[in-house]
Amino acid sequence: KQHDEVLVPGNRFSGRAYLGLRTTAGYRISQSDRPAAQRWANAGWAIIEGDLVRLNEHGWLRLDSIAAGLTAS
């Protein structure tokens, strides 16, 4: 039996954040996300270019916790 996932607004946001963080396209951060993204960059996990954040190989190892923290805020 096939089960379809129902996406509510929170799930859609989580999906976009996770997808953006795991691709080279990056994730567009808001002003409220900037302090967290700056902490990732300072820790050596990400690169910030304007309003885009891209995880590097160290950030990829922490992708689940980074995405969870971002979508929980």
CB neighbours of 41 closer than 8 A, spacing ≥ 6? 47, 48, 53
pLDDT in tens, 1-40: 566 654 444 444 467 788 888 888 899 998 988 999 999 9
The predicted structure's pLDDT at residue 14: 63
Which pair of structure tokens corresponds to residue 67? 């995405």
The per-residue pLDDT for 9 is 46
pLDDT above 60 (res 45): yes
Task: Label the pairing between strands 46-49 and 52-55.
Answer: antiparallel
CA atoms of 3 and 53, how far apart (whole Å): 33
- Between 50 and 12, whose confidence is greater? 50
C-alpha distances in Å from residue 28, one per residue of 25, 37, 52: 9, 10, 4
Token couple for 66: 């980074």
- When pLDDT is cut at 50, 70 and 90, the band that residue 64 belongs to is confident
